[in-house]
Amino acid sequence: MSLLIEFLGGSEATVGQAWTVAPLSEVPVFALFGFFLARGKEEMILALGALVYAVRWFLFAIINNPDLIIIIQLLHGLSFGLFYMAGVSYIGKIVPPGLRASGQGLLATFGGGIAGITGALAGGLVMDLYGPKTLYFGSSVLALCAVIGFVIFLKISVNNTNGGDLQMDRFIVRGPEQACNEIQADNMDQAINQVKQRFPGKMVAADASGVIYVCQPNEDETACQMKYK
């Protein structure tokens, strides 16, 4: 983006303003992600994030005024914010509880590491050969391909449902005898909310392996988990 601003004749101040707007636009998206997740599955949110990426990069490809980049950067929160949060949530849903830390680590490795390195090398080559506008136009097309892929994947997931419900994860619940069972939920947060509704007034906690514990109010969380393990 900095090179695009320079290519369009923008100043260093414009570069700084554009980079400032981008992370600030993430804050409301991160804060309201629960609102988005309550109204759609992670696959749908990933498709929406990819679509905003496509729009954002297409606008980069067609503008000639570097100051407009500052305004377009407001889309960063919706593109990166939705895509990142939905990715983290989806990994938490599909990976077994005991492997969730490893799953998030792999997401960071491939999403932020390998993809970043590969994208920087390929993007630099395209920019040298064809210029920044071609780079952003091509990135927009790739993002649209990702949208199509996520939509297809979502339809396949829906078609593989049982009784009209998406396949859900199973979570073990431990505590007093009446609390020991297994529940199904899309993710850990939903599972904990289910247990809280079933046992109002109790303290509900989860360990690193994803097991949920029903404890007495004000009971030490570690002691509660050791008692029911």
**Domain locations along the chain:** 2-159, 169-228
Which of the residue ranges 13-22, 54-63, 176-185 would you say has the lowest mean pLDDT? Answer: 176-185
Could you tell me the end-to-end alpha-carbon distance of the chain, in angstroms, rounded to an integer?
A: 52
Query: In this predicted model, which residue has the larger pLDDT, 201 or 163?
Result: 201
Can you give the pTM of this predicted structure?
A: 0.67
Neighbours of 49 (CB within 10 A): 26
Confidence of residue 177 (pLDDT cuts 50, 70, 90): low
Structure tokens at 148: 């199509």
Place of tokens 């431990």: 174
Domain 2-159 CATH superfamily: MFS general substrate transporter like domains (1.20.1250.20)
CATH of domain 169-228: 3.10.20
Is the model's pLDDT at 164 over the cut of 60? no
Confidence of residue 190 (pLDDT cuts 50, 70, 90): confident
Supply the mean pLDDT for the chain: 85
pLDDT digits (tens, 9 = 90+) for 88-131: 888 877 787 678 788 888 888 888 788 888 988 998 899 899 99
pLDDT digits (tens, 9 = 90+) for 127-146: 899 999 999 999 999 999 99
State mean pLDDT over 25-34: 86
pLDDT value at position 62? 94
Query: In this predicted model, which residue has the larger pLDDT, 155 or 62?
Result: 62
pLDDT value at position 96? 75
Query: In this predicted model, which residue has the larger pLDDT, 134 or 175?
Result: 134
pLDDT value at position 104? 85
pLDDT digits (tens, 9 = 90+) for 30-88: 888 877 777 767 888 899 999 999 999 999 999 999 999 999 999 998 899 888 888 88
CA distance 150 to 135: 23
